């Protein structure tokens, strides 16, 4: 068939000679095909064989690629191709021409070779560009025929000539005849190539796998991947991005060392950034089981904004292949290849190997990281364990954030006692310096648990991560402030101690490990809880100390007079007065019935004064013979009066710089009263018979059981002396008026006498206490003291069960005063005599006095001897 001037004409039947030539060519070609080593050798030999019979310039074989309905050069006779010198030659060789244009459709439709004058068709719409390029290089006519394999078109033979007289009929016949053989030769070559490629891939993968098996570190992996991938055609670099712990972003894990460009800030930015997984590219790769080839330009036009895509465009990558790296069902990341063509199977093989190596390295890194993080947390917990105060905690937190986590503390807020407001507890006031808001201002703002961000954090289990860029899009006022830190995320966590919510912590960072974050927050929570508990304790302690001081002061007032027993109201008033006057030089008049403790009070006053280092001097005014009173008080010179053989220092002089206790002052004769008054007024004494006066510094305490006012009225006591003495009166209440002191006094005396006598008395029976409380105590404390002394002496048990309480009758009162005015020895003697009388003088044996007194007979004998009891006493 021949196409001339658009007319198809039937070709005449081939001649015998032509058939011969064809046979020869076929034979030669058959032999050639068996020898062909290089695929292009086939076309060279084919050209050579035919050229020995017919004229043409060159020939090529194109192959159909059914998937995209194109055909593309496959076998080229470079050597003879006139277009080799054409500047579009490279482009032609790699081009894919559409199967849908009329030119090639005519070829496909023809039953054999079909020829075209280039001039006629090259400028027709849709005509393939190689026609024109050939024409420009002098080619004028083309003969085309379809190569079929099992009836299916697989490619075309193109034969070109620079002459215009066309291809002869013989030539066409020959071509037609050898086409099937050429077709099967091409099919074999393709098959061979496929087998060869498979072999190459296998050995490549084997090599790659052994290289990658030796990889232990990220850096080794980067190099191995580079070496492996560089064997792929037209690779322009790669990058592997790993899915981050958040599961939502990917960051560069390794990159082709060949494309690293640290001088380019854009490259650095793209290499260090975290890209969201769902960006329209990465998610597609991760969802695809096969590698995906992207046209960079097309994706940009689709509106993908990812900065890495735009970077690729900028550096001239036209197509990129993204391959999912996974281990089992777990996605690890993406391998991005800058490559124009892909061999899917080979890539998948490579990626499988990379995935395994990467999974191992990542797992190792994870183990190492976990160990580091645990060691780090241990360190932090050691620091925290030392923390006792807020400044300690602040130091520990800032240390860990600055040195180890490269993060900043924006705020710790704690829930106040009202359970609602959240005042600032701790913050880094350098953080918002660039934001024009001082941290103090922020810290001073009132936040409650209902503030939306805070509420979200408090309600979360493990905290919330705020992506500052995202928050900015939402127009949050906080985000503007946060953005000023230059850090990417805010990690906000609730602080909890057990089930108790303490508050929130806000940290700024580009990235923080969840494990570490949770670890440090847990420890910070415990530390804050402890500090708060400690602060409460300290406040409580402080309060206790204040209370303690106050109590001590009180005790000082009330109980400083330690030897005085009784804390009832009446005695407290006494103590109060004593504490007012004790340290002064004021004259004190102690008033009270006999035995109420006047002398005790006087001694206590002296002992609490600055004069306590010197002995208190006591004068019993009642016990002195009238004629000796003056000499006793003021002293005398030798020979001052009959019997004054020596000079004598008087009590006033003796009490210089000390206290003079004038007991029973009411008994002082009037004459002595006036002398005393003079000394008190002058504060100087003159010894009897002496010529000079002696200055004395004496503090006076006087005591009496008389009513001095009455005495003054009766003219027995000088009024002026009374006024001198009655400067600071202290009234001691009788014991009957302070029943509440009776029990403490009982215990005090029981302990005292038990100790003195070596007896063990642990308790006093309630009955005894009751009896003693209801007695009227005319002899006051002294009477109680004596009664207990006797009872202890007579006690037969560890518990004081019985006491002798005088009857309250008038005669008893006399008896009582009789007893009271006797010494213990006298009372004891009288008691034993009484018992002996009742026993009719029988000392030992049944019914004897020893039995009644419950003492051994010998003891009673020696006691009687000691007390001088004779038969005359109990038989009289
Ligand atoms: N509150 C008390 N606590 C302990 N012992 C006390 C108390 N009051 C008095 N006494 C004791 O009672 C006894 C009598 O006390 P003191 O001699 O002081 O009384 P007085 O009032 O001076 O007696 P008088 O008027 O007879 O001189 C002393 O042994 C004293 O120690």
CATH number at residue 622: 3.40.50.300
pLDDT at 440: 66
**Could you give the angle at which helices 169-213 and 218-229 cross, rounded to 10 degrees?**
170
Ligand 1 centroid – CA 749 distance (Å): 12
592 lines ligand 1 (CB under 6 A): yes
Q: Which of the listed residues 567, 578, 594, 595 should we mutate to test ligand 1's pocket, taking the one with most ligand atoms within 8 A of CB?
A: 595
600 lines ligand 1 (CB under 6 A): yes
Residue nearest atom 24 of ligand 1, based on CA coordinates: 594
602 lines ligand 1 (CB under 6 A): no
* Residue 687 in domain: yes
The DSSP-derived string for 712-753 is: HHTTSS-HHHHHHHTTEEEEEPPGGG-GGGHHHHHHHHHHHH
Give me the interface pTM, i.e. the ipTM. Answer: 0.97
* Residue 21 in domain: yes
Rounded Cα distance between 283 and 276, Å, is: 9
Question: Cα–chain-centroid distance for residue 203?
Answer: 56
Domain boundary among 156, 172, 197: 197
- Asked if residue 419 and residue 321 are part of one domain, the reply reads no
| Structure tokens belonging to residue 540 | 């409580």
Domain boundary among 702, 717, 733: 733
733 lines ligand 1 (CB under 6 A): no
- Structural domain count of the chain: 5
Q: Which of the listed residues 599, 619, 738 should we mutate to test ligand 1's pocket, taking the one with most ligand atoms within 8 A of CB?
A: 599
- Asked if residue 614 and residue 670 are part of one domain, the reply reads yes
pLDDT at 298: 94
- Asked if residue 689 and residue 673 are part of one domain, the reply reads yes
- Asked if residue 412 and residue 312 are part of one domain, the reply reads no
pLDDT at 150: 86
The closest alpha carbon to 633, from 612, 666, 603, 663, belongs to: 663
Ligand 1 centroid – CA 784 distance (Å): 10
- Asked if residue 744 and residue 727 are part of one domain, the reply reads no
Among left, alpha and beta (phi > 0; psi -120 to 50; other), residue 242 is beta
Dihedral (CA of 118, 123, 125, 130) sign: positive
pLDDT at 439: 63
Ligand 1 centroid – CA 285 distance (Å): 106
- Tell me which residues of the chain have a pLDDT lower than 70: 1-15, 34, 37, 233-234, 433-440, 442-443, 543, 546-562, 640, 644-645, 807-822, 876
**Domain span at 186:** 2-197
508 lines ligand 1 (CB under 6 A): no
- Asked if residue 338 and residue 294 are part of one domain, the reply reads yes
The CATH number that applies at residue 139 is 3.30.450.40
Ligand 1 centroid – CA 742 distance (Å): 13
SS3 letters for 138-156?
Answer: CCCEEEEEEEEECCEEEEE
* Residue 560 in domain: no
791 lines ligand 1 (CB under 6 A): no
Residue nearest atom 28 of ligand 1, based on CA coordinates: 782
566 lines ligand 1 (CB under 6 A): yes
Ligand 1 centroid – CA 753 distance (Å): 16
Domain boundary among 197, 227, 253: 197
- Asked if residue 657 and residue 691 are part of one domain, the reply reads yes
The closest alpha carbon to 262, from 274, 270, 250, belongs to: 270
The CATH number that applies at residue 782 is 1.10.8.60
564 lines ligand 1 (CB under 6 A): yes
451-462 residue pLDDT tens: 999 999 999 988
pLDDT at 551: 59
596 lines ligand 1 (CB under 6 A): yes
Residue nearest atom 7 of ligand 1, based on CA coordinates: 597
* Residue 425 in domain: yes
- Asked if residue 530 and residue 610 are part of one domain, the reply reads no
374 with 514: CB under 8 angstroms? no
* Residue 205 in domain: no
* Residue 209 in domain: no
pLDDT at 14: 59
- Whole-prediction pTM: 0.44
Ligand 1 centroid – CA 780 distance (Å): 8
Ligand 1 centroid – CA 772 distance (Å): 17
Residue 784 CA, closest ligand 1 atom number: 12
* Residue 559 in domain: no
304 lines ligand 1 (CB under 6 A): no
pLDDT at 10: 47
- Asked if residue 520 and residue 658 are part of one domain, the reply reads no
- Asked if residue 753 and residue 671 are part of one domain, the reply reads no
């Amino acid at each position: 068939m021949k196409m001339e001037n658009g007319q198809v004409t039937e070709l005449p039947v081939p001649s015998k000679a032509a058939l011969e030539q064809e046979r020869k060519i076929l034979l030669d070609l058959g032999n050639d095909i068996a020898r062909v080593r290089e695929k292009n050798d086939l076309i060279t030999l084919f050209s050579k064989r035919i050229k020995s019979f017919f004229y043409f310039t060159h020939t090529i074989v194109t192959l159909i690629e059914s998937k995209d309905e194109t055909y593309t050069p496959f076998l080229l006779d470079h050597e003879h191709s006139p277009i080799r010198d054409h500047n579009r030659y490279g482009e032609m060789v790699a081009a894919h021409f559409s199967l849908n244009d009329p030119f090639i459709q005519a070829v496909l439709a023809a039953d054999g070779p079909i020829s075209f004058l280039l001039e006629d068709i090259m400028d027709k719409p849709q005509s393939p560009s190689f026609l024109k390029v050939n024409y420009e290089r002098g080619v004028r006519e083309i003969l085309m025929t379809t190569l079929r394999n099992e009836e299916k078109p697989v490619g075309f033979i193109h034969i070109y000539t620079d002459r215009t007289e066309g291809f002869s009929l013989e030539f066409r016949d020959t071509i037609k005849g050898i086409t099937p053989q050429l077709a099967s030769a091409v099919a074999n070559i393709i098959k061979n190539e496929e087998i060869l490629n498979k072999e190459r891939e296998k050995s490549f993968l084997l090599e790659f796998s052994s290289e990658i098996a030796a990889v232990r570190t990220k850096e080794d992996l980067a190099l191995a991947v580079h070496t492996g991938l560089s064997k792929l055609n037209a690779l322009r670099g790669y990058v592997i991005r790993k899915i981050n712990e958040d599961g939502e972003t990917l960051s560069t894990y390794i990159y082709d060392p060949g494309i690293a460009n640290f001088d380019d800030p854009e490259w650095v930015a793209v290499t260090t950034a975290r890209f969201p997984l769902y960006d329209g590219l990465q998610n597609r790769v991760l969802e695809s089981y096969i590698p995906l080839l992207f046209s960079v330009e097309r994706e940009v036009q689709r509106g993908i904004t990812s900065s890495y895509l735009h970077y690729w465009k900028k550096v001239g990558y036209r197509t990129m292949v993204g391959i999912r790296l996974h281990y089992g069902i777990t996605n690890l990341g993406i391998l991005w290849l800058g490559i124009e063509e892909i061999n899917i199977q080979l890539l998948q093989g490579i990626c499988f190997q990379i995935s395994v190596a990467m999974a191992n390295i990542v797992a190792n890194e994870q183990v190492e990281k976990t160990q580091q993080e645990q060691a780090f947390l241990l360190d932090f917990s050691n620091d925290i364990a030392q923390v006792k105060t807020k400044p300690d905690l602040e130091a520990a937190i800032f240390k860990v954030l600055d040195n180890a986590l490269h993060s900043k503390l924006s705020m710790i807020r704690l829930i106040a006692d009202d359970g609602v407001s959240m005042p600032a507890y701790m913050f880094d006031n350098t953080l918002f310096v660039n934001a024009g808001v001082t941290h103090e201002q922020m810290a001073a703002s009132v936040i409650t648990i209902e503030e939306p961000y805070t509420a979200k954090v408090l309600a979360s289990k493990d905290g919330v991560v705020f992506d500052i860029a995202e928050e900015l899009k939402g127009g949050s006022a906080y985000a503007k402030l946060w953005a000023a830190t230059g850090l990417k995320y805010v990690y906000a966590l609730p602080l909890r101690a057990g089930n108790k919510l303490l508050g929130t912590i806000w940290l700024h960072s580009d990235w923080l490990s969840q494990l570490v974050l949770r670890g440090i927050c847990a420890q910070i929570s415990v530390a804050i809880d402890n500090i708060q508990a400690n602060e409460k304790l300290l406040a409580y302690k402080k309060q206790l100390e204040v209370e303690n001081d106050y109590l001590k002061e009180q005790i000082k007032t009330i109980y400083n007079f330690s030897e005085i027993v009784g804390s009832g109201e009446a005695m407290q008033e006494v103590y109060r007065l004593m504490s007012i006057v004790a340290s002064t030089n004021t004259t004190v008049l102690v008033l009270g019935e006999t035995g109420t403790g006047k002398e005790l009070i006087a001694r206590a006053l002296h002992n609490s004064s600055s004069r306590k280092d010197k002995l208190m001097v006591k004068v019993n005014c009642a016990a002195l013979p009238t004629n000796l009173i003056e000499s006793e008080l003021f002293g005398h010179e030798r020979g001052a009066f009959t019997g004054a053989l020596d000079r004598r220092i008087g009590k006033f002089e003796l009490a210089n710089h000390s206290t003079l206790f004038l007991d029973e002052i009411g008994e002082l004769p009037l004459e002595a009263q006036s002398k005393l008054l003079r000394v008190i007024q002058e504060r100087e004494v003159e010894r009897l018979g002496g010529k000079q006066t002696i200055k004395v510094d004496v503090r006076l305490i006087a005591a009496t059981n008389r009513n001095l006012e009455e005495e003054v009225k009766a003219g027995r006591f000088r009024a002026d002396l009374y006024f001198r003495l009655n400067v600071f009166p202290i009234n001691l209440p009788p014991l009957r008026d302070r029943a509440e002191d009776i029990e403490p006094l009982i215990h005090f005396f029981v302990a005292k006498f038990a100790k003195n006598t070596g007896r063990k008395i642990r308790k006093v029976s309630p009955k005894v206490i009751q009896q003693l409380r209801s007695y009227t105590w005319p002899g006051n404390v002294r009477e109680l003291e004596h009664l207990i002394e006797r009872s202890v002496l007579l006690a037969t048990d560890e518990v004081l069960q019985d006491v002798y309480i005088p009857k309250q009758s008038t005669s008893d009162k006399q008896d009582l005063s009789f007893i009271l005015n006797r010494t213990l020895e006298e009372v004891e003697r009288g008691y034993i005599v009484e018992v002996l009388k009742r026993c009719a003088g029988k000392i030992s044996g049944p019914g004897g006095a020893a039995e009644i007194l419950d003492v051994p007979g010998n003891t009673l004998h020696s006691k009687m001897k000691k007390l001088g009891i004779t038969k005359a006493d109990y038989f009289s």
